[in-house]
Amino acid sequence: MRTTSQTTASGKGAIARQFIEALPFSKALQMRLDEFGDGLAVISMPYDTRLVGDPRTNVIHGGAVSALMDTCGGAAVMGHPDAVLPTATIDLRIDYMRPATPGDRITARAHCYHVTRSVAFVRAEAFDADDTRPVAAATGAFTVTRNEVAP
């Protein structure tokens, strides 16, 4: 039997999945929601030669990694118990640590760690097949409507 929190998370997860699948850019990048929970999202996308940023090295463009991390951050906010849908990016800082290995699927993991009345704060990392060394790390702020509980 599911608890109310689990039911709410699964309902939000369905909405997050539908939202990601409905976005033309996310669809073009073939993003897939792999995991979703209370303030947590994991989204991945396959390597695609159409997204290569440097033909000499076949490394995927940083903009594709940025879009993945932005989408994942928004999904993490959508899953936070104190947040009500929808959300939008206010600010996103990405530090690129190393090039992703050509051919590898890229996975972003985001955690919404704090929600105020109007802003949610997120940390995220992106990895290729080597999940011990991040490709990129991000911090972001997203709009939020807080789920207020009546006394």
Kindly write down the DSSP assignment for every residue of 79-98, as one continuous string. Answer: HSTTEES---EEEEEEEE-S
Closest by Cα among 24, 7, 16 to 112: 16
pLDDT at 2: 36
Give the residue carrying structure tokens 């369905």: 14
pLDDT at 106: 98
Name the residue type at position 50. Answer: R
- Report, as ranges of residue numbers, the positions in the chain whose pLDDT lies below 70: 1-10, 12, 146-151
pLDDT at 42: 96
Cα dihedral 104, 105, 106, 111 sign: negative
The model's pTM: 0.85
pLDDT at 22: 79
pLDDT at 3: 34
pLDDT at 8: 55
**Helical (H) or strand (E) element with 146:** strand 145-146
